[in-house]
Structure 1
Amino acid sequence: MIQVCSRCGTRWNVRDRQRSWCPRCQGTLQAPTTDPAEQQWGQRPTPSAGGAPARLPQGFRWIAVRPGAAPAPRRGPQPLGPTPRYSVIPRWGLVDHFDSLDQHAADAADARSGPSVSMVRTVLLVTGVLLALAAFIHLVRYVLLLVNRSMLLHPLVAGVATWLGVALSVLASFAVVASAVVLTNWLIARRAAAYALNGAIDPRSGWEILAGCVIPVANLLLAPLYVIELARAEGRLSRLRRDIAVWWCVWVLSTALMVWSVATSFTRDAQGIADNTVTTIIAYLAGLAALMLAGRVFLGFEAKPVDRPAKRWVIVPDEQGNVPGHHRATKRDSAPEQESAPEQDSVPDEQSEVPAPPRQREPVA
C-alpha cells in the first residue's frame, strides 16, 4: 500500500496500515493506493508486445523494501533534564570597579588644561596653508628669474613677487613658532593627564618641557624624547614608534634645509639667487611634510582620549582556587517535559525511500 506526501511528494510503502503524517517533512499523507501492477517483489515485469519491459504508470517508481518484519523503532531524543535553578543571583563574571576608574578619570581631567583638539588642528591647518603659499610664491619667483634672463620685468611685477615672498616667509615663520608653542602646551597637558591617570606625577616640569621643545637645535633631540616618554606612559609606543621616527627624521632634514637656505640667502649674483630660491622652495616643502607628520602623531594620541581608559577588571581565583561570589546551584526543580509535535505515525527505517534494486537482465538466446 502506497501513500504519497502532499508536501514533499515522497511515496511511502505503509504496508497494510494507513498512515497520517509524513516521517520526512511532517506533511499530510494522501489516501493510500495499491500497486497498479499487483506484482510480487520477486516477479519480473511482464514484457510488452515490443519486447521492452513494462513501464510503470506516471508518477510511480520502484522502492526497495527489506523483507521480513519491521525493525524496532528508532529511539527518540533523550530528555533534556531539569531546568537549573539558583537560590541567589549569580555573582561570577567580569566586574568593573567604577569608583577607582572614575577617580582616575577625574584626576586626569583636572590635570589636563592645555589647548583643545580643535584649536591644535586649526593652528596646524593655518601653518600648513602658509607654508604651501610661501613655497608657491617662491616657485613663481624662480619662474620670473628665468624669464628675466631674456627680457626685463616690469618693476611692479618684480616688486610684488619680491615683497610678497618676504611677507609670506615672515607669516610662515610666525605660524611655525605658534604651532610649536601650541603643540608644546598640548604635550605638557597630555603628559600630566597620562601620569595622573597612572597615579603618578610627571617627572619633568612644564618649563623643562617648554624649553626643550622651543629652543632651536636642542628641540631636535628633546622634543621627540618627550613624545616617546608620553607614548610609553600611555602604552602606545609599539603602535606610534614608526610615526614618531619618520616625523623625527623629516623634521631634522627640514631644519637642515632651512639653515642652508638662510645661509645662502646673502648672495648677490643671479645664479646664487636662483639656487637659493630652489633651496628655499625645498625647505618649505620639507617643513610642510614635517608639520603634516607631526599632526599625524598628534592624531595618533588623540584617537583615544586619555581620560577614557580602556581597562576592565576581572576576578581571579585565590590561593585555594575559589572565585569570590561564585555560587553554584543547589536546588534543581524538575522541568515539565516539552510538548511534542502532533502525534504522528512513524514509519520504520526500511520503509523510507531508497534506491530501487537493480533488475537482472535475461540472457538473450
Structure 2
Amino acid sequence: MPVAPGGHDAVKKGPAPVTVRAALLSAITIFGLAAAVHIVRYALLLINRTSLLPPLVAGAALWLGVLASLAAIVAVILTGVVTTSWLIARRAAVYEHLGQDDPRPTWALWAGCLVPVVNLAWAPVYVIELAHAEQTQARLRGPIAAWWIAWILSTAVSIFGIATSFTNKPQGIADNTVTVIVAYLLGAGVLVLLWQVFDAFVRKPVERPLHRWVVVGADQPQAQPEPPEAESPPAVEPDQQEPAA
C-alpha cells in the first residue's frame, strides 16, 4: 500500500522550518531593539530631570519608542500567523499518520492561537496535544511548561505596562518606561523558549514516522529470511571410504 498522501500534503501546506525560524529570529531581534530604545529613553528621562533636552532629541526618543512598539506588534502578529500555520499543518500530518482527523477544527486552532489572552490557555493545550499524539510528551514537558509560564508572566507585565502608560507625571512616565523594558525583554525570552519547543518538534520530523507507513506491494518481491544453516548430517560411509555416488 503506498504512503498515505494526506500526511505529505499537510506538511507541504505549512511553512518550512527555515521560515518559522526566520520569523522567530526577526521578532526576537525587534524585541531586543525595542528594549534598547526604551533603555535610551529612560536614560534621557533621567538626564531631563536636571537639564532640558533639545527638542530634536526629545522628539526622536519619543518617535523611536512609538516605531519600536509598532514594529514589535507587527512582529508578534506575523510570528503568530507563521507558527500557527506550522502547528496546524504538523497536527494534520501527525493525526493523518494515526489514521484519524485532527479533533480540533481549523478555525478553533486559529482562534485559540491568535486571539489575545485566549491564546494563553488554548495555544499551549494544542501544543501539548500534538506532543501526546507524537508520543514525545515526556521529552517536551519541560520546554512547554517553561514557555507557557514565561508567556503568562510576559502578558501580565505587558498589560500592566499598557494600563500605566496614560500617566503624565514624570515619575509615572519613568516607571512605565521601566515596565515596558521588562515587558520587551520577557517577550524576547518567550520567543526564545518557543524556538526551543519548535526545535524539539522538528528534531523528530513527521517524515520519519511516515517511513513506517510504507508496505511493500504484491508486485515487489519481499526479501525472505534465510533459514538457518542446517548442521551437516553425520557421515554414513565408513572412514577411509568415498561417499556413494
Common topology (TM > 0.5): yes
In the aligned structure 1, how far is the partner of 2:107 from the partner of 2:149?
25
SS at match of 2:7: helix
1:253 aligned to 2:153? Answer: yes
Indicate the structure (1 or 2) with the bigger Cα radius of gyration.
Answer: 1
Partner Cα separation in structure 2 for residue 292 and residue 271 of structure 1: 32
Structure 1: which 5+ residue stretches go unaligned? 1-98, 314-323, 335-365
What does residue 135 of structure 2 align with?
Answer: 235
Q: CA deviation at 1:310?
A: 8.3
RMSD (Å) for aligned C-alpha atoms: 2.0
1:111 matched residue in structure 2: 10
| 1:200 matched residue in structure 2 | 100
> How many percent of aligned residue pairs carry the same amino acid?
51
1:219 aligned partner: 119
Map of 1:3-22 to 2, 5 A cutoff? none
* Alpha-carbon separation, structure 2, partners of 1:142 and 1:136: 10
Provide, for residues 62-98 of structure 1, a one-character-per-residue CA deviation record: whole Å limited to 9, x for no partner: xxxxxxxxxxxxxxxxxxxxxxxxxxxxxxxxxxxxx
Deviations 1:293-349 (A, max 9, x none): 011100110012112128879xxxxxxxxxx96734346279xxxxxxxxxxxxxxx
C-alpha separation in 1, matches of 2:231 and 2:144: 60
Distance 2:60 2:123 in 1: 38
Are the aligned partners of 1:193 and 1:307 in contact in 2 as well (CA < 8 Å)? no
Once the two structures are superposed, the pairs formed by residues 3-42 of structure 1 within 5 Å of their partners are: none
The alignment status of 1:144 with 2:54, answered yes or no, reads no
Mark the CA change 1:190 to 1:222 in structure 2 (over 3 Å): closer, same or farther: same
Instruction: State the AA in 2 paired with 1:109.
Output: H
Contact 2:3/2:210 (<8 A) preserved: no
Amino acid of the residue matched to residue 187 of structure 1?
L
Alignment match, 1:267: 167
Q: Which amino acid is the alignment partner of residue 143 of structure 2? A: D
TM-score by length of 2: 0.86
1:248 Cα deviation after fit:
0.1
State the distance in 1 between where 2:169 and 2:190 align: 31
Q: 1:172 aligns with which of 72, 80, 84?
A: 72
Partner of 1:292: 192
- Hey, which of these two has a bigger chunk of helix by percent? 2
Relative distance call for 1:109 and 1:197 in structure 2 (3 A) is same
Cα distance between partner residues in 1 of 2:194 and 2:45: 34
Q: Would the aligned equivalents of 2:124 and 2:144 in 1 still touch at CA under 8 Å?
A: yes
Alignment TM-score, normalising by the size of structure 1: 0.58
Q: Any conservation in 1 of the 2:150–2:190 contact (CA below 8 Å)? A: yes
Partners of 1:120 and 1:303 in 2: CA distance: 14
Indicate the SS of the match to 1:332. coil
Q: Which residue of 2 aligns with 1:15?
A: none
Alignment partners' CA distance in 2, 1:181 and 1:114? 11
How many residues are paired up? 223
